[in-house]
Amino acid sequence: MTQPNDRTVARKPSLDTQTILADAQRELALPSRRAFGKRVLTLGGLLMLTGCSLTDEKSVNAFLLSVSRMNDRIQAWLFDPTRLAPTYDEAQLTRPFPFNAYYTIDEVPDVDADGFMLQLSGLIKGKRSWTLPELYALPHAEQITRHICVEGWSAIGHWGGTPFSDFLRRVGADTSAKYVGFKCADDYYESIDMASALHPQTLLTFQYDGQTLPPKYGFPMKLRIPTKLGYKNPKHIMEIFVTNTYPGGYWSDQGYNWFGGS
């Protein structure tokens, strides 16, 4: 695969060139996109775009949108369950980390910690509910990764929680099923393919930057899945279910690409 040269990397500190180019390569490899890609999105053009457009939110947005429209099946087929999303260090954190939702910050759901019970349903053997102290006692993992939103921004954040694959196995989820779905405390809902649910960097997170996840970032928990775009990272999760029936998602039901790889 063509790698960006050093100069391109040096000029472009805040978008992940390699990830974007990997996506571009996949995009250009699609037979349906090839003609379009050769004419409009040549790799050279993309290199320039990714190298020069840091301040041009529109082109980044357009590019991210074109990536997000890739066909779900082809994305699922191309998904490499062992390929890791880039990680970063503490000094690279975006401060303050942006808040985003389909509503403004004053409407963030206020979930009561004391009475909270995470519900499990569908193709899961151990369908009991989980309190927060029980969830906090699960094996712990941390990650510093980039969250990429289709609206044209990205930010590096630090999350802490439990590996989602461990949790699914612990509760006896049928990991041969197709989908894992999420119901949230707001009207948001999301679903992901099982391969992505089992990816080693997919975490059920309870912390942001070493502190309990604040309401704005999704208290009591957010699924952090750095191999997917921001909207595939549900916040305020109240229920998790496993199913073979396509559950859709808040944004994909309004026309966004469902797989939402990043």
Contacts with ligand MTE by CB under 6 A lie at 98-102, 149, 184, 186, 188, 217, 230-231, 233-236
- The three-point CA angle 68-73-77 to 5° equals 100
Give the integer Cα–Cα distance in Å for 126 and 119.
11
Of 188 and 206, the one with the shorter C-beta distance to ligand MTE is: 188
Q: Minimum Å distance from CB 225 to ligand MTE?
A: 10
What are the φ and ψ backbone dihedral angles of 78, each rounded to 5 degrees?
A: -80, -20
Residue nearest to ligand MTE according to CB distances in the complex:
230
Least distance CB 128 / ligand MTE (angstroms) = 23
Structure tokens at 3: 């790698």
Q: Does 155 bind Mo ion (CB under 5 A)?
A: no
Q: Which is nearer to ligand MTE, 37 or 208 (CB)?
A: 208
- Do 156 and 146 meet the contact criterion of CB atoms below 8 Å apart? yes
Interface with Mo ion, residue 230, by CB under 5 A: yes
Per CB under 5 A, the list member of 149, 155, 171, 195 interacting with Mo ion is 149
CB of 194 to ligand MTE, least distance (A): 20
Smallest distance from the beta carbon of 250 to ligand MTE, in angstroms? 7
In the complex, least distance from residue 101 CB atom to ligand MTE, rounded to whole angstroms: 3
Strands 237-243 and 211-212: unpaired
- In this structure, what token pair is assigned to residue 182? 């999420």
* Residue 135 interface partner, choices Mo ion, ligand MTE, none, CB cut-off 5-8 Å depending on type: none
DSSP string, 70-131: S-HHHHHHH--TTPPPPB--GGG--SSPPP--SS-GGG-----STT--BEEEESBS----B-
Q: List residues near Mo ion by CB under 5 A.
A: 149, 230-231
